[in-house]
Amino acid sequence: MNPHEIIKSYIQRYIEITEEEADYFASCFETARFKKRQYIVQPGFTAKYRNYVLEGAFRSFVVGDQGQESTIEFAIDDWWITDYNSYIFQQPASMFVMALEDSLVLRIDFHKEQELKNANHHFESFFRIIAERALAAHQRRLISNLTLTAEERFTHFETNFPKFMGRVPQYALASFLGMTTEFLSRIRKRRLHNKS
């Protein structure tokens, strides 16, 4: 499938629209390629795009006072990524979004997205649905962060996001799960000896 077919089938998962509407929706996206380690969002600059990953992988993270990185989100094929606080409010970003691999994305410009939503009730619904789903997912993550131990968080990630395992570097996963690389390493070692 070509990029536009992919995004068409994506939107059709969530709302029922005509072929023409789906084509119009797809036409509002443009493809963009990024090389490994390239930044697509940087603190201080406003996130102009909402990005849908076709190929490759991304990671969004913030950098604390002492230079500690905290991974906010990962995105591989069929996931969205941007700095939502920056994109939604069109304010300077506080996060980095970086390519973890050479990647290909479909992206929509903020203003184009507003046009889409104004033009057609169905598109407004679509963006409402994906926002609600993202919110629900964030709430689930918050719950695991608050209730689980470091090891449980790791197990939870392994079982719920197996496709991400191996795709994302360990230091990035550790900071996503809210622990140090050293501790994640120790967990994996402990596992190897204790279990199975």
Please give the residue ranges that form the binding site for a second copy (CB under 8 A): 62, 64, 68, 70, 72, 84-85, 88-89, 94, 117, 121, 124-125, 127-128, 131-136, 138-143, 145-147, 175, 178
Question: In angstroms, rounded to a whole number, what is the distance separating the alpha carbons of residues 142 and 187?
Answer: 21
Q: Closer to DNA at the Cβ: 118 or 170?
A: 170
**Structure letter (DSSP) for residue 164:** G
Q: Which long-range contacts (CB under 8 A, 24 or more apart) does 179-187 make?
A: 179/150, 179/153, 183/150, 184/150, 184/154, 187/150, 187/151, 187/154
Check binding of 62 to DNA (CB under 7 A): no
Please pick, from the candidates 7, 76, 105, 179, the single residue that binds DNA as defined by CB under 7 A.
179
With CB cut-offs between 5 and 8 Å by kind, which of DNA, a second copy, none does residue 111 bind? none
Instruction: State the binding partner of 114 from DNA, a second copy, none, CB within 5 to 8 A by kind.
Output: none
Is 86 in contact with 92 (CB distance < 8 Å)? yes
* Residue 185 binds to DNA (criterion: CB under 7 A): yes
Binders of DNA among residues 79 to 138 (CB under 7 A) are none
User: Which residues inside 7-36 make contact with DNA, applying CB under 7 A?
Assistant: 36
The minimum distance between CB 36 and DNA, in angstroms, equals 6
In order of 21, 26, 38, 76, 138, the CA distances from 34 in angstroms are 29, 20, 6, 13, 27
Can you read off the two tokens belonging to residue 135? 């919110």
Joined tokens for residue 91: 């304010």
Per DSSP, the three-state class of 70 is strand
Which residues of this chain interact with DNA, rule CB under 7 A? 36-37, 68, 149-151, 169-172, 178-186, 188-189
